[in-house]
Structure 1
Amino acid sequence: MKLIIAVIKPSKLDAVLDAVTEAGASGLTVTEVRGYGRQRGKTEVYRGAEYEVKLLPKVKLEIAVPTDICEGVVEAIKAAANSGKIGDGKVFVLDLEKAVRIRTGETDEGAITG
């Protein structure tokens, strides 16, 4: 099993949700976060005053998947979140040691699939 963590632009959320569902992911968690990467924030103007926004709004997705569909889900995220501009985000893939569905007691792949 794998845990996919993706940090993307909020404007790409709906497209990414559709893409990962189509790729076989049966569930995910979405969190609104703030951060920066290479772009180190941006400068904006408000009422004539210039100010720097250091932490930009992002969306973090956490998706537990069976190993066999992991690459397909990662590719779906990459395709749906890509605008070709700086700040599109990152995808991280980690090994997932154990998963338990609390309601039924199912473990591992049984707990993360439909």
Structure 2
Amino acid sequence: MKKIEAIIRRTKFDDVKDALLEADIEWFSYYDVRGVGKSRQGRIYRGVVYDTSCIERILISIIVRDKNVEKTVSAILKAAKTGEIGD
């Protein structure tokens, strides 16, 4: 048994979920997480300044048998990749 954890963008969650279901991974848990990024910008919305250094992501946690590790990891990598910084 192996535990696989992946931190993905919120916008890619549905794609990863569908890819895992296609790979016959029927159960996993996920959590909303926040991290601190390198770039810091101040954005103003309705007169209030917001700090954008806090990055919202989703943490997926899956426990799989050894024979399913490769197909699980490849499904996550294919579905979550955007080609941008932060993948």
TM category, shorter = 0.7 to 0.9
Say if 2:44 is the partner of 1:46.
Answer: yes
Deviation at 1:8, TM superposition (A): 0.3
Structure in which a larger fraction of residues adopt strand? 2
Say if 2:41 is the partner of 1:6.
Answer: no
Deviation at 1:55, TM superposition (A): 1.8
Q: TM-score, normalised on structure 2?
A: 0.86
Show structure 2 runs of 5+ residues with no match: none
- Structure 2 CA distance for partners of 1:42 and 1:21, relative to 1, 3 Å: farther
Identity across the alignment (%) = 34
Deviation at 1:42, TM superposition (A): 3.9
Deviations 1:45-68 (A, max 9, x none): 214776532220000000111111
- Equivalenced residue count is 86
Show structure 1 runs of 5+ residues with no match: 89-114
Read off the aligned partner of 2:32 and give its amino acid letter: E
What residue is the counterpart of 1:99 in the other structure? Answer: none
Structure in which a larger fraction of residues adopt helix? 2
Q: TM-score, normalised on structure 1?
A: 0.67
The root-mean-square deviation of aligned C-alpha atoms, in Å, is 1.8
